[in-house]
Amino acid sequence: MQRAMQAAYLPGNSTVELRTVPVPVPSHGEVLLRIKASTICGSDIRAIYHEHLGKGPEGYQGVIAGHEPCGQIVEVGPGCRRFNVGDRVIVYHISGCGVCNDCRRGYMISCTSQKYRRAYGWQRDGAMAGYMLAEEKDLIALPDQLSYADGAQVACGFGTVYEGIEKIGISGDHSVLITGLGPVGLAAAAIARKLGAQKIIGIDVVEERLKLAKDMGLCDETLASGADNVSQIKDLTGGFGVERAVECSANAAARATAVRATRKWGRIVFIGEGGGVQLNPSPDLIHDQKTIYGSWVTSTWLMEELTERLVRWGLHPADIVTHRFALSQVSDAYALMASGKCGKVAVCFDEELQATSAEGMNRK
Ligand SMILES: [Zn+2]
Ligand SMILES: [Zn+2]
């Protein structure tokens, strides 16, 4: 096997730096993955690409970028207990201490150990490289029916959405509002559809995203973001508003819309990160008996459950990948994602890079 690889770093001035670095060697409890697909997240753009804004869990420590890894195990370190060379795996993108209360619940995202909590692509080397080290405890088996690009979406976007949707519960009883139709919002629409939702309404400011959501059949109605959104949504739902809302934009006005366009007894989940919102608790929540949930990423067990559901539903998260790039073109990949004029953007290797035309997407 080659012992040097290309790897992408984000210096924080809206550029990407490719460096040649050694291929790492797995130590105890670790595996070496051949990366097959590594997708770019909104959080990479928000907190690292333009500027290193993040603190704590979002503090970027100059490591190899990329926190949505999916690949194949090519080396197994000593002490591994389950996975073997050749296994196809997704990586839960935060490696936790394993022994705090949050880790024991499977929510390594909120691991409380300052010393041992390290997110791939933030505080430890990530997936924008030919190879990546991962701890065995962070691995989720990728079912044969899912592609590596599917798996990379499970790692962050679809897992995050699945968690939020499980909290509010969505079924065929519900009309659903999704505010923000980036990759996370599109994932929310795709899962809500599989859970039976018949009327899915999406809002965004970017015209390309509204069109994408409609063209892919993920939203039944799309609305350009604006001051009339609440009354428009009420008109579309018999005057009552939706039963469920999934807020993916982090925009203050969209958050208020998500709450106010939800009917009495309805449930709203806030997933989009950053920013603020102004609400009037009595009319917006208390008098209408509404509940707002907050939801941060997901747990290892729910992520594992999601992979099984995706197969059962015949849902391929890679359908929201609109563009694939080789690692040599990683700069273009980040620039496109930063423009917002796309679905999900993936850096791919080997067979996954060839898969472009096989996809249902690339419809514009
Ligand atoms: Zn992500
Ligand atoms: Zn922990």
Which residue type is seen at 259?
V
- Are the C-beta atoms of 141 and 305 separated by less than 8 Å? no
pLDDT averaged per 10 residues in sequence order, the chain, 364 residues: 92 97 98 98 93 89 97 98 98 97 97 96 98 98 98 93 98 98 94 97 95 94 98 98 97 98 98 95 98 97 97 95 96 95 93 68 34
User: How far, rounded to the nearest angstrom, does the alpha carbon of residue 9 sit from its chain's CA centroid?
Assistant: 20
Cα(113) to ligand 2 centroid in Å equals: 5
Ligand at shortest distance from the CA of 100? 2
CATH superfamily of the domain spanning 158-294: NAD(P)-binding Rossmann-like Domain (3.40.50.720)
Strands 242-247 and 221-224: unpaired
Cα(103) to ligand 2 centroid in Å equals: 4
Ligand at shortest distance from the CA of 113? 2
Cα(297) to ligand 2 centroid in Å equals: 15
Collect residues with CB below 5 Å from ion ligand 1.
41, 156
Cα(298) to ligand 2 centroid in Å equals: 14
Residue 144 confidence (pLDDT): 97
Provide long-range contacts, Cβ within 8 A and 24+ apart, for 42-49. 42/182, 42/183, 42/184, 42/337, 43/67, 43/273, 44/10, 44/121, 44/334, 44/337, 45/334, 45/337, 45/338, 46/273, 46/274, 48/10, 48/12, 48/122, 49/10, 49/12, 49/14, 49/16, 49/334, 49/338
Ligand at shortest distance from the CA of 107? 2
Residue 356 confidence (pLDDT): 61
Quick check: pTM over 0.95? no
Q: How many CA atoms lie within 13 A of 93 on its CB side?
A: 32
Fold of 4-147+316-358: Quinone Oxidoreductase; Chain A, domain 1 (3.90.180)
Q: Which residue has the tokens 């729910």?
A: 302
Ligand at shortest distance from the CA of 300? 2
Backbone angles phi, psi at 327, to 5 degrees: -60, -30
Cα(112) to ligand 2 centroid in Å equals: 5
Cα(7) to ligand 2 centroid in Å equals: 28
Cα(240) to ligand 1 centroid in Å equals: 34
Ligand at shortest distance from the CA of 158? 1
Structure tokens at 92: 């839960």
Same fold flag, 4-147+316-358 and 158-294: no
Cα(323) to ligand 2 centroid in Å equals: 35
262 by Cβ neighbours in 10 Å (0-12 / 13-18 / 19+) ranks as buried
- Are the C-beta atoms of 33 and 73 separated by less than 8 Å? yes
Question: Could you tell me the residue ranges of all domains in the chain?
Answer: 4-147+316-358, 158-294
Q: Which residue has the tokens 């958050």?
A: 255
Q: How many CA atoms lie within 13 A of 64 on its CB side?
A: 27
CA distances from 112 to 97, 104, 123, 294, 309 (A): 8, 11, 15, 18, 30
| Contacts for 22 with CB less than 8 Å, ≥ 6 apart | 3, 4, 5
Ligand at shortest distance from the CA of 40? 1
Cα(238) to ligand 1 centroid in Å equals: 36
- Are the C-beta atoms of 65 and 8 separated by less than 8 Å? yes
Ligand at shortest distance from the CA of 65? 1
Residue 358 confidence (pLDDT): 42
